[in-house]
Each structure stands twice: as structure tokens, then as C-alpha cells.
Structure 1
């Protein structure tokens, strides 16, 4: 396989011969045609992966991850967040950190060191993390379970199936219809582990991962692979005896395309994982806020208790803010937007969207009773490094545009905001992985 093509969000892909950069790259004609077909499939499902930019160029949208075409072209797409320094390395680190939060993995399950020091494409990092967790699980012991077997034998083992024995045809009374339990590792969780392991062993290009994958394959040779992946995921047990398996489930979902990654439709099933950056950013901010709630405060994601209007006695146009924070009688509505603002460009309204303001105005009327605070949270950049002055819908209803620093894990809040009543405030000299909220 040729060297992966690395780009970032909103880059252009062309069939013309150009020098590859993070914002412009050459792809083969076959890869170009396949990407056009894939984009059409996304469009039919209401999502936009790319858009045509002339006859020989495509413009990527805000999906990140890795994508492999049938002709062997592998695209790695990193976030367009860092403009200075090593954009590729910083982009990879940021993406891994966002995925860690999206999969609900804590620092004990995926160490910060592995995120910062593993200099490889996303797919290799995912496979290395899966293998490390699987190796630990195998050392702790693979879980066996009793399976009920019903069969015909010449000897009695377990229980005699009396009803089946009475229905035995003449001349076969010397055969016994029996049922018994066999203690074996053939259970849903192990079948999924085996399927994911086989996928990793075939896909990895890293020598250490390949060696470990084949060692684990030899240890787990007796395990069958899953024949019905979706059914086996639904059968995944969460009881106390299976607690040491829980760290494996997110990695299996990621590799077998069962969770946030968008599986490529059709016959081709390469090592493809695509994430919408808007959703990754939302999940990261949500997790950050949950870890800093004051006692008595509550945070609800995707609340849907109100609609825009009533029609013929039923709700119409459900209003669903990203985050709803409550403490006592106070409520805050927060919405995340993966978009770059320019805090110094007042003439162009800082890059804000009028549609977003209409949306937040509706949230404020329905969820806050036209009295309180709303916030739009954007990624912090060099041109947007402090909260903007408030936008007042009325003297009692204000909207704030706040920057969230993804490198320092910091939400910058204006001194006038009451949001700090709901979120723990760290000391001014807090380390970067703690909350640092002004005021």
C-alpha cells in the first residue's frame, strides 16, 4: 500500500499533479470517482462529506479520521485547529484526545502518554490501543460460560430429554436424546473480540502491532468469530463478573464500525473511520463540564422537553439544545459550534451565524422563559481567545460567545456571567488539565 495521504478539514483533493500539503492533495482518478460515489451516499442520508469544486477537484467537509478506498488509497484527515507549529502532530494529538472522550474512556483506560507520544495515523493508534487492552484482558483470563447442548449419543450424559426420547423412531431406542451444559469460551463478547482481532491483524502496518496481534491470535485460536456483529453487541453482558471486559467494548465498536465512526456502505470494508468534528467537539465539552459541576447541579445533553410551536394539538419542530445545565431554579442553555471566529472582525459580525442566533433565541424563550443566560461555545483560536461582549436579546436575556481551549482544557467565561454558580472554579495557578474559569 502506498503512503497515506494526510489532509485536514476543508482541504481540496484533485486529480491534477500537485505537491501534497495539508490543504491540497493529489488522488488517483479511481479514488476520486469512488469518493464521489461515497459522497452521494452520505448526501442521501442527510450528511455532507465533500462537495465538487470544479470537474477535477473535491472539497472535504468537517469529517475527520481515516478512509481507505478499494484502490488502496488511504486518506488521513486531521482537525483544522492549529495554524502554527507542527499542525500534523498537534492535529493527531487533538483527534485522539477527542476520540478518547467520545468513547467515554478515562485516563486509566487510555493513558495520556500514549495519546501524546504515539506518532502514527489514527487507525494505527486505535489498533495499538485495542491490542494493549486485549493483551491485558487475556492475562487476566478470558471469561467462559455454560452453553446448553442438545444431541443424540450412545451414552447418557447430563439429562435425558424424555420427550425427544419417547418420540424416537423404532429401531433407534439404543440412541439417547440428551441435553447437557458445556463450559466453553463461545460467548458474544469473545466472538466480537476475535472478529476485531482478525480485522486488526489484517490491517495493521506497524511491526509491533502485527507481532502482538499474531501472538494473541495464537492464544485465542479456539474462539470463533462473530457471525452477527449487531446481535452480539446487544448481547454484551454488563454484570459484575464481566467488569474487566468493559474497557474492550468501545475499541471493538470502533474497529467493527458499530459506534460513532460512519461505516462505509457497500462491499468495500477497509479500515475506515470517519467522525463528524461537530459531534466530537460537543461530546468533549459535555464531558469536561460534567467533571466540574457544583453539588446540586445537573447537566443534560440533547434535552427535548420543548417544541417551537403547537399544531392541531401536537408539538411541532422539537427544540433540542446541545447542553442544558440546571441548579435549583436557575437554568443555562449551552450550544457548541465547531467553527472559527475572529474576535477582532466586528464589521463581519466576528463570523457568527445569524441562524445560530435565531436558534438560541428560540431556546431562550422556551427553556428560560425569556429570562437568563445562553452561551455559544466555540473552539479557542489565536483570533478568538477571549469571550465576546454579551449579545442582549432583552435586558433579561443575554447570549454569550465563549472560547473553549482544547489544548489547555479551559473554558473562558466572562466575569459577568452567572455560569460559575454551576461549575467549580479552580485556583488561578491550576495546571492545564484543570478548569481555569475567570471570575
Structure 2
């Protein structure tokens, strides 16, 4: 029997009975507990951590969000820890869907009441719904067929006679013809991948609407075989003009087949498991927004890696990689995103800022900004106790650091235009000034 558990980042899970379950404390079965511990071991070997084992009965989740489906049937949905009031589950699901779509540049065909209603379902159901709708639209437009060369033996002539093979026929089989001919079939790499993704959705979905549509589409693709080599078929996926109508469904197919995930869980789990490091998701979300807001004469680079911290013995060591680098003319701006919770009223505790983050930005400023002069920016999510930008931090004369909140609901940096020189469009600058007010 499947069991759904919804929590958020850094929640604690236990096999003991929980008197008042919440988004921060929940009960899971012993088998799910053991499976998470085993999975965490594979994460740890790769330099990450999914959970922190507090004792034999308690686990503390890290900052991964998404859906995990265990072999025993437990579906663990992990949401961002951002909202504190209202319908936190619904708001968090909607936020996570928007962030995934923007961060991975996934297409969507509609943003209406249907999508909003689906936010009541777990994240994996939303992903499957987007895939099914895109696939349904594709099938209505028509799937692509391709000619394939077939060599076979028949009692009649069709296509070309394979003369060499025919001459090798023994006298007793001279009445059979060795022929080769082309057959117009839908057996293409793109269709095989879509069929495999559809098979996984059919096996994983628990939402009635998704189940019904998935099985309808499955019947329409019955003659197509599922892919047996996902990586090879994705390499063969064509992106020419004749395949343009396949492009909207491709990212969703990659997502389901674990080809485009920042982090994916593969194994013997029953359903679809999708995991995202929240820090990386927030970074990509902000980057996607900035690309639309910077002025035409500026460019945005992500994960710039052109400078190193020091030189040693004729080589360079410790590469510096700021999250975002904006270049406009001869000026540069270095930005870093942090998925952390700041408190503007806790000055005695340094607002919750990390000293190591400041060291990092200090190094970026001296290596990426001309002469170590310019503006650095740290971007944090906006919350009730962090409503507007902090007063600038001065590393040295001419080198300042701004700590700015990013409003995930209104999609804007909350800072006055007089405090930042970031090359944003005029409309965005007006929004920034109003947000700061």
C-alpha cells in the first residue's frame, strides 16, 4: 500500500509515533527509514548528503527538494522551506514548480486553472502531467515516421532482389526470394524515448487524470518499442526543422528519464524520484530572471571560471567560480546567490550572514573586478524578517558588497535604484525602487 508523506527541507523523520505531524516532523515506516539511510550512503560517497542520521530512529533531511519514492511504496515529498503562514503546502508546491520550470528552461503550454489545481498534487504528478499534455499535443499533430531498410526472405518479390544472397540459396529453396526493401515505420530514437517515458509514467502515476491520459496515449503508441539505450537515443535525437514540433516534449522526457536533473535517484524504486539541490535551483532561478531583466548592452555569465585565487610553481591553484557575472562595457558586477534565511533585525548575530561567504566575495572582488574596485552582490530569498536590502558592506574604498533579498512571489530584487548600479532595464529599476519603499 502506498503512503504519501509531505515535509520540507531540514524536516526530521522518525519511525516512532508522532503526536502532531507537521511539515517539520513526520513518521515514516521502518523500511523507508532503512532505504533512506542506504541512499544517503551513496550520496555521501559522491560528496553530498541527503540526510543526517541523528540516532537509530531519527533522520534530519538536508536541503534537497523534490520527490522520493521508496521500494516499499512510501512517497516522500520534500518542499522548500520558505513560507511560514497560510497554506504552506500549496504555496510551496507552486513555488517549486515555477522554480523548476524556469531553472531548467522547461516549456509549458498553459498556465491556467488546470495547472493551479494540479499544485494540490505532489511534484512528480505535476511533472508527469506536463509530459502527458505535451505528448498528447505531439500525437495530435502527428508523430514522425522514418524509412528503414529491411532484408528478409519472402515467397514474392518486393523492392530489390538481393542477388548475392539469392545465388547462395540451395536448389530446394529457389522458390524463395531474398529481398531488401524500405518500410515506413515510427521506430525512431525520439519515439522510443517517448514510449519509455510514457511506460514509466503509467507505472508511477497515482492521480486519476494522469492515469487515464497516460493509458490512452499508451494505446496510441502500442506499435512503438521502448528505448533500450537512453543515452544513445538522446544523442540521436534530431533537432532539425522537421522535428521542431518534438521540442516542447523533449525537456519533460529528459526530466522523467533522469537525463536533465541536477540530481536524480536511480535504482529499484517503484516510481519516479526527482531531487533538486535547493541552493542550485535558487541560483538558476535568479539567473533565468536576470537574463530577462538586464539591459541590452550587458551580458550574463553563469559559473564564470576565468580567475584563480593564487599561482604556485608556474601554475594556478584554487579556481574562483562566482554564481553570476554581469558584464557591460568595461564594468563588471559579481553576484552570488545563497538559499539561506537572514534576519534583518539580528544585527548582533550578523543577520545570519556567513563569514566564509564574505571571504569568498572578497576574493571574487579582487580577481574579477578591475583593480579590485566595484560592486559585489549577495542575493538571499526575501522573507518576513528580511524585507529589504541591508546597508552596504565596505571591504575597502571603492569595493562594496550589497546584501539584497529576492522576492520569489513578485519576482524582483528589493533594493533601491540609488543603492545598486546593476544594469537592469528601466521597468525593472522602477520595480526595484518601489519594492525598496
Q: Does the pair score TM above 0.5?
A: yes
How many Å apart are 1:437 and its aligned residue?
A: 6.5
Q: Which residue of 2 aligns with 1:16?
A: 16
Deviation (angstroms), 1:124: 1.2
Matched, 1:109 2:109: yes
- Residue 244 of structure 2: SS of its match in structure 1? helix
- Which of 381, 384, 387 is residue 385 of structure 1 equivalent to? 387
Matches of 1:48 and 1:115 in 2, distance apart?
32
Change beyond 3 A, Cα 1:345–1:187? same
Partners of 1:390 and 1:59 lie apart in 2 by 35
Maintained 8 Å contact 1:9/1:60: yes
Deviation of 1:416 (Å): 3.5
Cα distance in 2 for partners of 1:242, 1:270 equals: 30
Counterpart CA distance in 1 for 2:96 and 2:433 is: 20
- Residue 230 and residue 427 in structure 1: after superposition, are their counterparts in 2 closer, same or farther (change >3 A)? closer
Following the alignment from structure 1 to structure 2, what is the Cα–Cα distance between the partners of residues 34 and 260? 21
Q: Is 1:409 matched up with 2:406?
A: no
Quote how far apart the aligned CAs of 1:305 are: 1.1
Name the SS for the 1:324 alignment partner. Answer: strand
- How many Å apart are 1:260 and its aligned residue? 1.2
Q: How far has the Cα of 1:141 moved from its partner?
A: 0.6
Residue number among 352, 374, 377 corresponding to 1:375 in the alignment: 377
Contact 1:261/1:273 (8 A) holds in 2? no
Contact map agreement 1:372 1:398 (CA 8 A) in 2: yes
Maintained 8 Å contact 1:303/1:323: yes
CA change 1:436–1:226 in 2 (3 A) is farther
Q: Which moved more, 1:154-163 or 1:184-193?
A: 154-163
Distance 1:147 1:417, change over 3 A: farther
Cα distance, 1:169 vs structure 2: 6.0
Q: 1:399 maps to which residue?
A: 401
Quote the residue 1:322 is aligned against.
Answer: 323
How far apart, in 1, do the equivalents of 2:412 and 2:215 lie?
42
Q: Deviations over 1:110-137 (max 9, x none)?
A: 5254443322111111111111111111
Specify whether residues 309 and 140 from structure 1 end up closer, same or farther in structure 2 by C-alpha distance, changes over 3 A only: same
Mapping 1:144-223, distance limit 5 Å: 144-161=145-162, 168=168, 171=171, 176-223=177-224
Match of 1:83 in 2: 84
CA contact (8 A) 2:204 2:270 kept: no
Hey, what's the Cα distance between the residues in 2 that align with 1:260 and 1:339? 22
Give 2:70's aligned residue: 69
Where does structure 2 lack aligned partners over 5 or more consecutive residues? none
Relative to structure 1, is the Cα distance of residues 362 and 161 closer, same or farther in structure 2, using a 3 angstrom cutoff? farther
The alignment status of 1:131 with 2:147, answered yes or no, reads: no
How far apart are the structure 2 equivalents of 1:43 and 1:336? Answer: 24
TM-aligned CA deviation for residue 330 of structure 1: 0.8
Partners of 1:297 and 1:328 within 8 A in 2: yes
Say if 2:377 and 2:404, in contact at 8 Å, map to a contact too.
yes
- What residue is the counterpart of 1:307 in the other structure? 308
SS in 1 for 2:234: helix
Aligned to 2:346: 345
Counterpart residue number, 1:235: 236
Alignment of 1:345-364 (within 5 A): 345-364=346-365
* Gapped regions of structure 1 (runs ≥ 5): none
How many residues matched? 433
Superposed displacement of residue 52, structure 1: 1.1
